């Protein structure tokens, strides 16, 4: 990773940007995040935003309820230290692991989560999709109709954890996943709400286009990021 980075108060190094092209196993991604967050907190590594896809899995956040896992044998289930409840990860979904100095860049957790929501909303707008937040809920939603009634469907989930004020885990945006895979859980513990994707809404951007939109929106908050290319940091 190069020379150690000497961090000074509110003088942070440039954030690094990495996109993994091949699917990354969830356990390997979590192990890498643990090591990288410790290195960031110790001033030995730069902050990092890492975009990837996982094989089909369910993950359970710290607020997950057993009754919300409807089909426990459908996919592997991983307990995780991030906030939130159950969610699905799989092909066609862009996962963003965000390892940033929250205290210095955002001042607090609520501001950080709000910044992630706004980043996703701006990225989706660039792709032609009008999205929004919902009072009392974390994540990003789109408004639509089903059977003639207005509905709010979730298009992006957020679940983060902090260690020594450095964040990890992050967000997921449904680009073109198999939405039937969400049927094995109550997504984010919200009963009666649906899940949607860019593909279901009739938008077919490439994953590269999604990544570019996310990067542009995030750079408005953290400044220009340094591209690490398409290397894989975890097998």
Tell me which residue of 110, 111, 113 sits closest to 158, measured CA to CA: 113
Cα(117)–Cα(132) distance, rounded to whole angstroms?
8
Instruction: Say which DSSP state 8 is in.
Output: B
169: left (phi over 0), alpha (psi -120 to 50) or beta: left
* Alpha helices, DSSP H, located in 131-186: none
* Planar angle of CA 146, 152, 154, nearest 5 degrees: 115
Whole-Å CA distances, 88 to 58, 165, 188, 203:
5, 26, 9, 21
Length of the chain: 235
Inter-residue contact 77 to 69 (CB < 8 Å): yes
- 188 tagged catalytic: yes
User: What is the token pair recorded at 1?
Assistant: 């990773």
Out of 124, 188, 210, 213, the active site residue is 188
CA distance 93 to 207: 9
Q: Give kind and range of the element (H or E) at residue 43.
A: none
11 DSSP 8-state letter: B
User: Which residues are catalytic, by number?
Assistant: 188
């Amino acid at each position: 990773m190069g020379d150690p980075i000497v961090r000074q108060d509110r003088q942070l190094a440039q954030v690094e940007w990495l996109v993994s092209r091949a699917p990354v196993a969830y356990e390997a991604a979590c192990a890498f995040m643990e090591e990288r967050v410790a290195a960031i907190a110790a001033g030995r590594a730069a902050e990092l935003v890492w975009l990837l896809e996982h094989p089909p899995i369910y993950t359970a956040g710290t607020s997950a309820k057993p009754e919300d896992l409807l089909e426990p044998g459908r996919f592997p289930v991983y307990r995780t230290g991030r906030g939130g409840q159950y969610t699905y990860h799989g092909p066609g979904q862009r996962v963003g692991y965000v390892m940033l100095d929250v205290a210095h860049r955002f001042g607090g957790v609520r501001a950080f989560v709000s910044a992630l929501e706004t980043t996703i909303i701006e990225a989706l707008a660039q792709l032609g999709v009008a999205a929004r937040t919902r009072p009392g809920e974390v994540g990003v939603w789109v408004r639509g109709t089903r059977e003639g009634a207005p509905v709010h469907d979730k298009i992006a989930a957020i679940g983060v954890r902090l260690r020594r004020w450095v964040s990890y885990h992050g967000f997921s945006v449904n680009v073109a996943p198999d939405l039937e895979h969400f049927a094995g859980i109550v997504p984010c513990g919200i009963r009666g709400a649906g899940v949607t994707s860019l593909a279901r809404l009739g938008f077919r951007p490439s994953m590269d286009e999604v990544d570019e939109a996310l990067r542009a929106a995030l750079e408005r908050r953290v400044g220009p990021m340094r591209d690490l290319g398409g290397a894989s940091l975890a097998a």
